[in-house]
Amino acid sequence: MLRVDGLHKSFDGFRAVNGATLRVDAGSVVAVIGPNGAGKTTLFNLLTGHLTPDRGSILFEEREINALAAHEVCRRGIGRTFQIANIFPKLTVFENVQVSVLAQQRKSLDLFHRASALAVDETSAILKDTGLLGRARRIAGGLSHGDQRILEIAVALGSGPRLLVLDEPTAGMSPEETAATMALIVRLSRDRGLTILFCEHDMDVVFSVAQSIMVMRQGRTIVQGPPAVVRANREVQEAYLGVNDA
């Protein structure tokens, strides 16, 4: 579904992403791991059109998406969340998701209908799926941190993605919230047939959920494969797991 080859991106001479490769098969759950500064977030920003790569190719469903803007990437079918909760704080929970659904239905520029009457069923269904329906009328900025992160996923779902890219979906969450969030992600993958790409610091989470793991270091891909293969890789053990598994 997604194929990334030889991807490069530099900022003022600093090579943030320096030859990354990645394979994501349709329907799978893929994790990207690596120490802080390994280039995970930059990689995700390149995949979703927030940054343009210097070199390399990004093929999504056999079509190159290197040069597309963020909103064009979204329309191709890639939704994403951000490392820090990135929502519309002044709008209600319902409106947050509705904006996304309206964009997906190409109604964002509609001047002649009442927004409050549109996309109500689709929005409610997503809120129900993510367990936010009871808080639909709350102002989003007033939600707990954990709920804001869940809302981010709900907003991303509103655009009807086939591939969902999650940048540290459980950052800053309690163990209970982390477990609930990962259960939600697994359920979305199973029930909706969503393909999921995420990065995460918690190794237990990664190795229990991901079917394929890609390890990055200094902007470069060391290895990608099933958890057992990655765990057995010597370079990975030296570079990363040995330090963090203690």
Nearer to other proteins, 64 or 110 (CB): 110
Rounded-to-integer distance, Cα 128 and Cα 148, Å:
15
Instruction: Output phi, psi for 220, to 5 deg.
Output: -115, 150
Query: From the CB of residue 47, how many other CB atoms can be counted at a distance below 10 Å?
Result: 26
Return the number of the residue (111 or 246) whose C-beta is nearest other proteins. 111
Supply the DSSP symbol for 193.
-
Q: CB 183: neighbour CB atoms within 10 A?
A: 11
54 or 110, CB closer to other proteins?
110
Residue 171's φ and ψ, nearest 5 degrees, are -60, 130
Tokens at 185, concatenated: 């992600």
Q: Which residues bind other proteins (CB under 8 A)?
A: 48-50, 69-71, 73-75, 79-80, 82, 86-91, 95-96, 98-100, 102-104, 107-116, 118, 155-156, 158-159
| b/e sequence 86-107, b meaning 16+ C-beta within 10 Å | bbbeeebbbbbbbbbbbbbeee
In the complex, the smallest distance separating the C-beta of residue 220 from other proteins, rounded to whole angstroms, is: 26
Of 136 and 241, CB closest to other proteins: 136
- Smallest distance, Å, CB 56 to other proteins? 21
Instruction: Report the half-sphere exposure of 188 (CA within 13 A, side-chain side).
Output: 32
Write down the least CB distance from residue 176 to other proteins, Å: 27
CB closer to other proteins, 159 vs 212: 159
Residue 45 beta carbon to other proteins: minimum distance, rounded to whole angstroms:
10
With contact defined as beta carbons under 8 Å apart, do 73 and 117 qualify?
Answer: no
Closest distance of CB 35 from other proteins, Å: 26
Smallest gap from Cβ 75 to other proteins, in A, equals: 5
Please give the order of strands across the beta sheet that includes 14-24.
14-24, 2-11, 55-60, 63-64
Q: Based on CB atoms, which residue is closest to other proteins, 98 or 212?
A: 98
